[in-house]
Amino acid sequence: MALKEITLFGILFLFLLGSCKEQQTPKEKTIPQNNVKKDSIIPEEPPLAKEEEQEEAFELNEDNAIEFFFNYSKTLKEDKVKLTTSLGNITIQLFDNVPYHKANFIYLSKMGYFNNTYFHRVVKNFIIQGGNADNVETAEKRSKIGRYLLPPDTRKGHKHHRGVVSMPSSEINNPHKLASPYEFFIVVTKPGSYHLDGGYTAFGKVIEGMDVVDKINSQPVDNGDWPSQNIYILKAEAF
C-alpha cells in the first residue's frame, strides 16, 4: 500500500507540476515593457510645423521707391554722413526739406553701398563725383538694392554754392532729369556753379573736410576725368 500511495502521489505531483508550467508559459512570452516598439504603444507626435519660407529680400524699383523713402524719412534721426576716403574725411550735413534724396543717401550709407566705391570723376575747378566703381562688388550691391531713379527736387531754394552736395541725373532715357540715386557730386567752384541750379537736386553741404575735397580735385586724371589713381570711399557713416 505504501508503494501504491507513493506512486499515486508521484503521479499526482507530476500532473500538478505540468499544470503549473503550462500556466507560466504565456507570462514568459510576454514582451517586457522596455522592449515594446514605441510606435505600437505611444501615439505618434504631430509632424513639426513647416518653417516659414524666408521673405524675399526687399528690392527697390520704380514703383515702390518714392513710397519707401517717404516712410523711411519719417523714421530718421540722422542728418549727417561722414565719408572716410583714402585722402581724408568729409562730413556732409543733409538738408531736411529734400526728404527723398536725404533718405536715399542715408539708406545707401547704412546699407554699406558707398563702402569701397570711388570718387570716379574729377573735373578740375568744378566738381568731384563719387558713388561708382569698376568692381564686381559695387555692381552686385546695386543689383541687390534695386534699380530706381528719384524725381528732381529743385525748388527748395538750395543753390549750388561751393561745397554743396548734389545728385546727378541719369543719362539713360531720362527726359525729366530723374536723379541717379547711387552717385553724388560736390561742387568745388568758387563761389559756386550756379548754372546747375534748377537742373540738379542739391541735398546737402560739406561742413568739414573741404580741404579734402580740394585735394581730391587736384589729383591727376585721364582724358575721361577718371583719376589716374583710384580715390576710395572706404566707409560712409550716417549719424
pLDDT in tens, 37-67: 333 233 344 454 444 434 467 999 999 999 9
pLDDT in tens, 72-98: 999 999 999 999 999 999 999 999 999
Q: Which residue has the cell 515702390?
A: 64
Q: What is the pTM of this model?
A: 0.76
Q: Which residue has the cell 524725381?
A: 151
According to the model, what pLDDT value does residue 93 have? 98
Report the distance separating Cα 167 and Cα 186, nearest Å.
9
Cα 158 to Cα 36, 98, 183, distances in angstroms: 83, 10, 19
ω into 191 cis (within 30 of 0): yes
Cell representation of residue 213: 575735397
Mean pLDDT by 10 residues, the chain (239 residues): 46 43 34 33 42 63 96 97 98 98 98 98 98 96 96 95 94 77 98 96 98 98 95 98
